[in-house]
Structure 1
Amino acid sequence: MTARLHTLSNGVRVVCDPMPGLRTIAVTVAVNGGARMENEAQSGWSHLLEHLVFKGAGDMGAREIVERVEAEGGSINAATGYERTSFDIRALKGSLPLAMQVLSDLVFRPTLAPEEIEREKDVVAQEIAEAFDTPDDHVFEMAQTRAFVGQALGRPILGSIASLAPVERETIGDWRRRLYSPDRMVVAVSGGVDEDELLPLAEAWFGHQTATPTEALPPAVFVGGEARLARKIEQANLVFQLPTIGARDERLPALRLFTEILGGGMASRLFQSAREDRGLAYAIDAYHETYDDLGLLGVYAGAGAERSVELAELCAAEILDLAERGPAPQELARAKAVLNASLWMADESPASRAGRNAGQTLVFGAPVSSEATAARIEAQSAEDLRAVGREMAATGRSASAVLGPRGAGGAGAAFRAAMLAAGG
């Protein structure tokens, strides 16, 4: 493993991950915080802030930020999640000084001009409307809300027009100091990077800011329930979710394999049974989301309204069968091969490595070698997958969302009934 972890005096952690022979670098600045830190009145502030820092930072205006990066052949991006906010630059190796300066200015020295705040509220309002108008986006938001009713994890990352309305320069500036606090931050660089160049730059651009204390987050609780929204569209969009383990749980490799076997590809159980054997859905897949203290196993499908209940019952049956009987040897072997291939392919990408190193440092305190990850995947047995599956099924709890024609409305109740019966 080439990644080496360093910690600056103010708590910023720096991961240097050289990849010999590469002429490019990937720089990720990630903070341990996002929409989950918000109360109801602050919903969407983290995402709005991520937008606002690009409107001006340091001595740069909005246009100059991207022009400086692109003038050296680079690209810049950012993302806000529930528990993480990240900023990324992909560039040629000689652009490391510029990348470090630009990212430091974004997180520590944004202009936050009042006129830009008001303008960007309008932009985010359009983004909120776009998400609502996109059924296969909005249905996930509906399911998330039912899974975590009344909690930060159950509110949209985008927030609402009402929650963004009071934001002004002072309030969003205070929020920036909390969210982008140095002790919550990781700077990860992969590719054509040299430690002797990186560490002085990290100290100069990230080592002199003061941390802002934050209170501990309350534990999340999976509540569950059914959400329905009737719309005059051709297809029903369905999401079914179950509570499961979190990102720090040592059983996570078993959950990843369970998810892959259930609905991770064209050879998966759901694809074969729902699409190939019965023609119930054009698109169907399984996924998992892991947060600090718990997670979700989910299934998404697009189906005709008249067969949505049948599809919901099939999804529940496949989950329960995999949990009860476990995977066949060839299924487990396929899933391990898929996860390992994904792991090693990502290992060849500086951007993937920088993002992974940053995320692992935030969760585990240090990067985890790919060899160690592969060994944990390979060590999983059929019984390990059964144990994770049985634990999910035993709760009897689920969250569902159905968006589409009225005739699909019973799909959520059908899935819930099947899982309740299994939970005893």
Structure 2
Amino acid sequence: MPGLRTFALTVAVRGGARMEDETRSGWSHLLEHLVFKGAGDMGAREIVERIEAEGGSINAATGYERTSFEIRALHGSLPLAMQIVSDLVFRPTLDPAEIVREKDVVAQEIAEAFDTPDDHVFEMAQTRAYAGQALGRPILGTIDSLKAADRSAVADWRARLYSPDRMVVAVSGAVEENELLALAERWFGPEAATPLDPLAPAVFVGGEARLTRKIEQANLVFQLPSMSALDPRLPALRLFTEILGGGMASRLFQSAREDRGLAYAIDAYQEAYEDAGLLGVYAGAAADRAVELAEVSAAELLDLAEKGPTDAELSRAKAVLNASLWMADESPASRAGRNAAQALIFGAPVSSEDSAARILAQSADDLRAVGRSMIEAGRSATAVLGPKAAAPAGQAFTTRLTASAASR
């Protein structure tokens, strides 16, 4: 990216919580923590000191299908950044004492997620959506599933998960291609590949989850099965999601918040995995109005699916997604992360011009077809966390959808 003095490095691995069996649940996230406790010739403190001494920053994240390591730094620091990430993924120390300590840290993280209602309710919904599957288990794992993670077992899992044939090295910003290729070959080329068991197909199961807690507000999540990352209908789904609950002009915000005052926070989102996906609605509401909010959410979803968007809605959603695409294109970190993910999913990055063209080409009929396909699947996953009065909200959402599907 000409004119920049900084770069963003992302090393993304096609490996995460979805690759775990039940006995290893949470191990990918634990491993991501552990590599920062020592790698190569560096201790935990030296890893961050070396990066920060150059004015840079380092971070990492574990998802269901990918783990990523990210460094932002000034031009000239790429050799150091590549060496450090290589040490993290291929040569972590995995000190047994650090493993014990980090298990305690993750246990606190698990407890914190449980104590945060607007975090835990998503975990509840995910568990119902993909019940009995790796996608339905929390990325953090459980205290019980982490007990067996000793040094030998974690080292074996690292070798299987962080395999170079499932890695992409992406750099954006102030970078020279020849230098990057030489560094990638030096620090990531010689490592041997390790096979990983093939993924079992994901199946959206659906169901209802309730948890009564004495808190002030009810937290609600409603989910439907939708499109995978490889589905050509995904651009239509993104526009559908934006119109339904993507911003202050969205249907849910205007109907539930502005017109009725049912919720302070309400939005729609979508998750696209390699072979599955979901559309979700999240809202926080007073317990005694949760059922009404659920019914309004279902009604707005049904109306958009059955009638499609207005011309003004479709035009506005296209403008929002198009603008967000080009804004992200001007960020080295966003571009590196996006290109790495696309290379893992599609085999190569997708140009912003192609992405924009696909978004702008969608019609109202395309969005209507996407909406109908989700409703006709006849499955939903709901989660309600909060006072007892809110408990029927999940069933209210499902009943409204089921009644509509049955009447068609």
Regarding TM over 0.5, the answer is yes
The structure 2 residue matched to 1:286, chosen from 243, 268, 275, is: 268
Q: Distance in 2 between matches of 1:183 and 1:147?
A: 31
Q: Indicate the residue corresponding to 2:286 in structure 1.
A: 304
Q: In the alignment, is residue 336 of structure 1 matched against residue 318 of structure 2?
A: yes
Q: Indicate the residue corresponding to 2:13 in structure 1.
A: 31
The structure 2 residue matched to 1:323, chosen from 282, 302, 305, is: 305
Q: CA deviation at 1:395?
A: 1.3
For 2:71, what is the secondary structure of its paired residue?
strand
For 1:229, what is the secondary structure of its paired residue?
strand
> In structure 2, what residue type is equivalent to 1:66?
V
- Residue by residue over 1:56-77, the C-alpha shift from the partner in whole angstroms, topping out at 9 and shown as x without a partner, is 0000000000000000000000
Q: In the alignment, is residue 135 of structure 1 matched against residue 121 of structure 2?
A: no
Q: Distance in 2 between matches of 1:251 and 1:240?
A: 21
The structure 2 residue matched to 1:403, chosen from 382, 385, 388, is: 385
Q: In the alignment, is residue 257 of structure 1 matched against residue 239 of structure 2?
A: yes
Q: In the alignment, is residue 234 of structure 1 matched against residue 216 of structure 2?
A: yes
Q: Indicate the residue corresponding to 1:80 in structure 2.
A: 62
Q: Distance in 1 between matches of 2:133 and 2:368?
A: 30
Q: In the alignment, is residue 423 of structure 1 matched against residue 401 of structure 2?
A: no
Q: Indicate the residue corresponding to 1:9 in structure 2.
A: none
- Residue by residue over 1:362-402, the C-alpha shift from the partner in whole angstroms, topping out at 9 and shown as x without a partner, is 00000000000000000000000000000001112100000
The structure 2 residue matched to 1:102, chosen from 57, 72, 84, is: 84
Q: Indicate the residue corresponding to 1:41 in structure 2.
A: 23
The normalised TM-score by structure 1 is 0.95
Q: Distance in 2 between matches of 1:422 and 1:297?
A: 18
Q: Is the 8 A contact 1:43 1:159 kept in 2?
A: yes
Q: In the alignment, is residue 275 of structure 1 matched against residue 275 of structure 2?
A: no
Q: Is the 8 A contact 1:36 1:82 kept in 2?
A: yes
Q: In the alignment, is residue 207 of structure 1 matched against residue 207 of structure 2?
A: no
> In structure 2, what residue type is equivalent to 1:49?
L
For 2:379, what is the secondary structure of its paired residue?
coil
The structure 1 residue matched to 2:132, chosen from 133, 140, 150, is: 150
Q: Indicate the residue corresponding to 1:175 in structure 2.
A: 157
Q: Distance in 2 between matches of 1:165 and 1:118?
A: 9
Q: In the alignment, is residue 392 of structure 1 matched against residue 392 of structure 2?
A: no
Q: Distance in 1 between matches of 2:181 and 2:342?
A: 20
The structure 2 residue matched to 1:195, chosen from 177, 190, 207, is: 177
Aligned length: 406
Unmatched segments (≥5 aa) in structure 1: 1-18
Q: Structure 1 stretches (4+) deviating beyond 2 angstroms? A: none
- Residue by residue over 1:181-212, the C-alpha shift from the partner in whole angstroms, topping out at 9 and shown as x without a partner, is 01110000000000121111111100000000
The structure 2 residue matched to 1:62, chosen from 40, 44, 48, is: 44
Q: CA deviation at 1:419?
A: 1.4
Q: Distance in 2 between matches of 1:87 and 1:197?
A: 20
Unmatched segments (≥5 aa) in structure 2: none
Q: Distance in 1 between matches of 2:175 and 2:318?
A: 32
Q: In the alignment, is residue 123 of structure 1 matched against residue 105 of structure 2?
A: yes
For 1:258, what is the secondary structure of its paired residue?
helix
- Residue by residue over 1:103-139, the C-alpha shift from the partner in whole angstroms, topping out at 9 and shown as x without a partner, is 0000000000100000000000000000000000000
Q: Distance in 1 between matches of 2:267 and 2:260?
A: 15
Q: CA deviation at 1:223?
A: 0.7
- Residue by residue over 1:215-258, the C-alpha shift from the partner in whole angstroms, topping out at 9 and shown as x without a partner, is 21110111111100001000000000000110000110000000
For 1:157, what is the secondary structure of its paired residue?
coil
Q: CA deviation at 1:422?
A: 2.3
For 1:94, what is the secondary structure of its paired residue?
coil
For 2:397, what is the secondary structure of its paired residue?
helix
Q: Distance in 2 between matches of 1:397 and 1:249?
A: 19
Q: Distance in 2 between matches of 1:418 and 1:211?
A: 50
> In structure 2, what residue type is equivalent to 1:214?
L
Q: In the alignment, is residue 163 of structure 1 matched against residue 173 of structure 2?
A: no
Q: Is the 8 A contact 1:29 1:358 kept in 2?
A: yes
Q: Indicate the residue corresponding to 1:219 in structure 2.
A: 201
Q: Indicate the residue corresponding to 2:359 in structure 1.
A: 377
Q: Distance in 2 between matches of 1:68 and 1:420?
A: 57
Q: Distance in 2 between matches of 1:421 and 1:391?
A: 16
> In structure 2, what residue type is equivalent to 1:296?
L
The structure 1 residue matched to 2:333, chosen from 351, 355, 365, is: 351
> In structure 1, what residue type is equivalent to 2:164?
P
Q: Is the 8 A contact 1:142 1:227 kept in 2?
A: yes
